[in-house]
Amino acid sequence: MELPEKKYLPNIKQVIGVISGKGGVGKSTIAVLLAQALANDGKNVGILDADITGPSIPRLLGIETMKAESDGNRLFPILNEDGIAILSINLFNEAEDSPVIWRGPLLGKAIEQFWGDAEWGSLDYLIIDFPPGTSDISLTAFQTIPLSGVVVVTTPQEYVSMIVRKSINMAGLLNTPVLGVVENMKSLVCPRCGEIISLFDDHGDSADKRLGVPVLASLPWHKEVVTAKSIHWNALPETIRKDALRMAKETELALASVQKANKA
Ligand SMILES: Nc1ncnc2c1ncn2[C@@H]1O[C@H](COP(=O)(O)OP(=O)(O)OP(=O)(O)O)[C@@H](O)[C@H]1O
Ligand SMILES: [Mg+2]
């Protein structure tokens, strides 16, 4: 496939896309946890909300009332409490619930601007929260942003569906390494007896066997994630922080191994 030229930004070392086959499997939640884990491990981190029509990053981070600035040429990301730089279309909208009713080309322009016209500063990692599926806007993000790799978020009932394989195949077609899968909401731990309860029928399968890509992490369903209005690293239970830090480490290792293989 003939691909357009991508603009490389030398100040951004690694760019990680968080994608999924279906909507609502926890991409944005995982993108936030990954960014927070990396930031709290001492890295310079940014989040680019590429979900232009369904942006949820500002609310997830509790910065939905803040406004990002632009001088007409450059966009200035917001810095949150963890020092994470953030751009989302909702940080430019007058009201959080204003719909974005643009046609494809304009949506693509927003992605291009968030990438190429933004003052991200020096980042170790820029995390891209993708919209669900393999839509036009996902394609634009893949084609505009030089991704170092993607993390695929799934819930166990998705292993057997072709939808998640579609998104993995899309990355392959667009020459982007798939770093691995994050299994989300696979189980929950009973708060009373500690029993681990599987939430989905995984048809006796595992993501790595089914999808042929490694599992980077498995995040249980946590009541705190659903009930919290927004996710704040210091307010998260220790167990979620541990899982997120492990997921970040595995992602870094997967990136290093992909890049070593590319050099060889
Ligand atoms: N590990 C988890 N435990 C409990 N709830 C979770 C977990 N992960 C995600 N959720 C909840 O699932 C819902 C969907 O999550 P999220 O918005 O992150 O998904 P998404 O894949 O980004 O959705 P979309 O496709 O609409 O962008 C949210 O209510 C979120 O709080
Ligand atoms: Mg989302």
3-state secondary structure of 59: helix
Instruction: Evaluate if pTM is beyond 0.85.
Output: yes
Closest-approaching ligand to the CA atom of 163 = 1
Q: How far apart are CA 41 and CA 250, in angstroms?
A: 13
Establish how many alpha carbons lie within 13 A of residue 105's alpha carbon, considering only the half-sphere containing its beta carbon.
0
Best residue among 187, 225, 232, 246 to mutate for probing ligand 1's pocket (most ligand atoms within 8 Å of CB) is: 225
Give residue limits of the domains in the chain. Answer: 12-263
Interval between CA 32 and ligand 2 midpoint (Å): 10
Is there a contact between 246 and 238 (Cβ–Cβ < 8 Å)? no
- What are the tens digits of pLDDT across the range 111-158? 999 999 999 999 999 999 999 988 888 999 999 999 999 999 998 877
Interval between CA 2 and ligand 1 midpoint (Å): 34
Write down the pLDDT at residue 2.
Answer: 54
Q: Which atom of ligand 1 is nearest to the CA of 51?
A: 27
Residue whose structure tokens are 């998104």? 167
Q: 12-263: CATH homologous superfamily?
A: P-loop containing nucleotide triphosphate hydrolases (3.40.50.300)
Q: Which residues line ligand 1 (CB under 6 A)?
A: 20, 23-29, 51, 54, 56, 132, 184-185, 219, 221-222, 225-226
Write down the pLDDT at residue 95.
Answer: 72
Instruction: Give 10-residue mean pLDDT values along the chain (264 residues).
Output: 74 97 93 98 98 94 93 93 96 77 77 94 98 88 95 83 86 92 90 82 72 90 91 95 97 95 83
